[in-house]
Structure 1
Amino acid sequence: MSSIVIDHVSADGTTLESDVRTSADLERFFTDESFRTDYDVSIADVPEGVRAIPVLAQVCPVAWANGADVYVDEVDATFASALEDVKETLCSMHDFLEGGTLYAKRTIDADPDAGGESGLLFTGGVDSTCSYVRHRDESPTLISIRGWTITPDPADDDDWNALRSRVSSFAADHDLETAFLESNMLSFLAHPMLLAHYKRHVDGAWYSSVGHGLGLLGLCAPMAYARGIEDLYVAATHWEGIDLEWGSRPDIDDNIRWAGTQCHHDGHELTRQERLDVIADYVRDEEPTLELQTCNVRMDGNCGECEKCYRTAVGLRLAGLEPTAHGYLFVDEDYHEIRTALEEGRWVLGQDERYMWDDIRERARETEPTSDAEAAFFEWLDAADLGDLVSDSSPPLSHRLLRAGARNAPAPVYNTVYPAWTSAKSGLRRVRPGR
């Protein structure tokens, strides 16, 4: 029988560690690293059943993909119930997921001190800034996580330091607290092997398409318990009417809960352009110098030349703001550059971007252009076939052959060869979520 066993969950001050054992058929999906997460608050007094949540949040989707059962010594009863709800959603969304059962020697009804606090996963992008504006009366703790788009690799130190500095500055300016978490959740999992087995079933990667809603929120559990955070918000990327297989959705995130904390998928009723409208109203009423950070290329500001920078700048224009006042160097001549880049396929675009450009197009149809260049671009966009701008989501044959062979290859061999091969072959492009 396929199984995953959480051997122990230990807390040493601010550091959480756990070892995992698996049945032989699942060994390939895990590396030899212990699971580890570092917090900036002591978790020594957090019950073991709550400390188990971060590792369970990472391994359960892998178990469900293989019909495996998961065993743990102790788990918070509220979270155990939440896992059943999340499993139901993920299994209905991905037909390759088979499900499985969580077995615990003990379930506990933890009784945290009622803190009445709230928290928000925050990067300073459009989505998370909109969520801050919507919930600013709660003075949410701003939570930033290193481990997904910014990895624990020393090569990402500059990006992490830039994010920490920016979020800390924003928090200081708005009289807010911060929480910074660092985890090896993706290097603890054998992510290349997960891609080899499941990439053909999902539109994106494993974590974005399956694991990140449960995974990122679950990482926060010990910290939220220690800080008395009762409401934990994660900003929506998509909105009503977008039917994409994405690991963070209302029917996932709104079901995630543990003793003392309820999670919320925030802003799903708003399109990206409507979120920019919320920000624009806030800028005009309260903070005229607010800057956003959405760049796909750098973390210490916006490059102003990538697809996401241009898209955000156009959205700001449509919301009645001048992009140059909010972090984006943008002039009318850039409209021609955007059109040319889209027509020539310079940017690798997926279904996400198609929906977002369509959202911009809908707003442009009801907006009076402010210049001839803007009018010309909006006229072109109105007639453009956005489907033609989306890249073929099928990986190259060489990638497919490598992954097919990997399903039967020794896991250590594949986990070593695949990242080096793809980096040399195609120069993998990092895409940051819109939060």
Structure 2
Amino acid sequence: MKAIILDDVAVNGKRIDISFRVDKKLQRYFQQGNHLFFQYNDDLKDVPVSVAAIPFVANTAPLAWITNSSIYVSELDKSFYDCLANIKKAYQRMYPDVIFSGEIHVDHLIENSYTPEHEAAQLFSGGLDALATFIRIKEKKPLLITEYGWHQHSVQRSKVWDADEKHVTRFACEHNLDNILIHSNYGTFISAQEIDRHFLKKLGDSWWHGLHHSLAIISAAIPIAYKEKINCIYIASSYFRGYRAKCASDPTIDNEIKFASGHVFHDGYEINRQEKVKLVVDYYANKETDVNLRVCFLNEKNCCHCEKCVRTIVGIVAEGSDPSDFGFPITGSLSQHISDFLKDNVKYFTPARIMQWNLSKDRMKENQEKIMDQELVAWFVMYDFAAERKKALLKYRLTKFVPIIIRRVRTRLNRIRMQNL
């Protein structure tokens, strides 16, 4: 059986460095150097190796399972090891066409424990889902944890991260809370493109979205949660009950994660995205505090042009609020802005995505008297996403696809003629 072997876990000050080896057949799935690191803005004193090793196992376990490989670790927290079997079963139910095999071998299982001193920590990006979860659990005074996992071999500053850090630290200060900032290469130390090349078709989803990101993000927070003696790590739901989507972040997976005396909770799965928008809008309705939802996680500010931005804008409008009050400054006609976006992009909408947009449309119908932009209401509440997508696809194929086919046929015929001369 192919092997992934953890060689060393070095816990020094605010940093964890992990080195490992893999069989030649697996090396194509990893970047050169076989190195995974985590850097925190707080000291990791008293965090044992058995806990510091958790992020390595969490990041590599799904790959071991789909490649029928074994992970070898000297020591590991027993609570985390015990929860892996249920996580594996959850993945298997989610992806029935892929066999999840492989094993995790541990020489020494360590029964770590502590008496919780803090009720909650929250993975906090500043986005809609995260803000909705914060509002729901704010009385627990959560430790706010924000991560950037896209470094290469070392920490490199970026304008996007600087904007994120500024936003979350200001938010924490306003609410008299503490921040934990985590830098890592968990998003790059594995070659996602190479995994997708072999497994995308079988999985029906990408490695990062379908198998990796939730375990990576949650496990990065576990060493600091152990140090701070946190009872529960909260992660905001991306989807909601009834939304058909495969995703690494799912309550059947996240809620199984255990470590020492702590556990994880996938929050907000029982409410949909529009209900989260309402929660946020209502919360800030009588507050003078500025609100800046961080929807564009790859940009310094919300671009207001991508699908996620525009969908959030529509959701805010449907609640009778002004998107500019939530970090979405639209210049010119809002109605035209949304109309132009749909004209160019509705052809790419999946049925699941249309379901999300229809939530905002339905809310706009219910709430239309409170909506400031009546020009938008006039046409949007009548907009048929499925029908418009069908028309847009037909137009696209006629104007783009058919000419390409004709040109290729002509080229091939010309080659045949030249060969016959």
TM-score band, normalised by shorter chain? 0.7 to 0.9
Question: How far is the alpha carbon of 1:167 from its aligned partner?
Answer: 0.5
Partner of 1:293 in structure 2? 294
Aligned partner letter, 1:105: D
Any idea what the Cα deviations from partners look like across 1:105-153, whole Å, max 9, x if unmatched?
11011023522241111111110000010011011111111115x7778
Question: How far is the alpha carbon of 1:280 from its aligned partner?
Answer: 1.7
Q: 1:152 to 1:146 in 2, by over 3 A?
A: farther
Larger Rg: 2
Question: How far is the alpha carbon of 1:244 from its aligned partner?
Answer: 1.0
Which shifted more, 345-354 or 194-203?
345-354
Partner of 1:344 in structure 2? 344
Any idea what the Cα deviations from partners look like across 1:361-407, whole Å, max 9, x if unmatched?
22223232544412223234246537649999xxxxxxxxxxxxxxx
Alignment of 1:202-241 (within 5 A): 202-241=203-242
Which shifted more, 21-30 or 269-278?
21-30
Alignment of 1:336-415 (within 5 A): 336-345=336-345, 349-350=349-350, 353-369=353-369, 370=371, 371-382=373-384, 384-385=386-387, 388=390
Q: Is the 8 A contact 2:354 2:385 kept in 1?
A: no
Any idea what the Cα deviations from partners look like across 1:206-235, whole Å, max 9, x if unmatched?
111111111210111111111122110110
Q: Distance in 2 between matches of 1:318 and 1:379?
A: 10
Partner of 1:414 in structure 2? none
Q: Distance in 1 between matches of 2:187 and 2:126?
A: 23
Unmatched runs of 5 consecutive residues or more in structure 2: 395-421
Q: Distance in 2 between matches of 1:96 and 1:183?
A: 29
Q: Distance in 1 between matches of 2:160 and 2:393?
A: 28
Partner of 2:28 in structure 1? 28
Alignment of 1:109-188 (within 5 A): 109-148=111-150, 157-188=158-189
Aligned partner letter, 1:125: G
Q: Is the 8 A contact 1:76 1:259 kept in 2?
A: yes
Q: Distance in 2 between matches of 1:258 and 1:85?
A: 14
Q: Is the 8 A contact 2:9 2:49 kept in 1?
A: yes
Q: 1:287 to 1:203 in 2, by over 3 A?
A: farther
Alignment of 1:251-262 (within 5 A): 251-262=252-263
Which shifted more, 290-299 or 88-97?
290-299
Q: Is the 8 A contact 1:146 1:183 kept in 2?
A: yes
Question: How far is the alpha carbon of 1:278 from its aligned partner?
Answer: 1.0
Which shifted more, 107-116 or 283-292?
283-292
Question: How far is the alpha carbon of 1:201 from its aligned partner?
Answer: 2.9
Q: Is the 8 A contact 2:349 2:389 kept in 1?
A: no
Unmatched runs of 5 consecutive residues or more in structure 1: 393-435
Q: Is the 8 A contact 2:274 2:359 kept in 1?
A: yes
Q: 1:153 to 1:105 in 2, by over 3 A?
A: closer
Q: Distance in 1 between matches of 2:223 and 2:134?
A: 22
What's the RMSD between the two structures over aligned residues? 2.5
Query: Normalising by structure 2, what TM-score?
Result: 0.86
Any idea what the Cα deviations from partners look like across 1:304-356, whole Å, max 9, x if unmatched?
33332222122112123222222122478222332232223388555653332
Any idea what the Cα deviations from partners look like across 1:41-74, whole Å, max 9, x if unmatched?
2224212111110101111010001111211111
Q: Distance in 2 between matches of 1:41 and 1:156?
A: 18
Which shifted more, 234-243 or 328-337?
328-337
Q: Distance in 1 between matches of 2:391 and 2:217?
A: 31
Q: Is residue 6 of structure 2 the alignment partner of residue 6 of structure 1?
A: yes
Partner of 1:276 in structure 2? 277
Q: 1:195 to 1:302 in 2, by over 3 A?
A: same
Question: How far is the alpha carbon of 1:290 from its aligned partner?
Answer: 2.4
Aligned partner letter, 2:245: L
Partner of 2:402 in structure 1? none
Which shifted more, 73-82 or 287-296?
287-296
Query: Larger RCO: Structure 1 or Structure 2 (Cα < 8 Å, ≥ 6 residues apart)?
Result: 1
Any idea what the Cα deviations from partners look like across 1:269-321, whole Å, max 9, x if unmatched?
1110000111122112445532212136622x323333322221221121232
Q: 1:291 to 1:212 in 2, by over 3 A?
A: same
Aligned partner letter, 2:233: L
**Identical aligned residues as a percent:** 27
Partner of 2:404 in structure 1? none
Q: Distance in 1 between matches of 2:328 and 2:377?
A: 20
Partner of 2:68 in structure 1? 67
Q: Distance in 2 between matches of 1:143 and 1:309?
A: 23
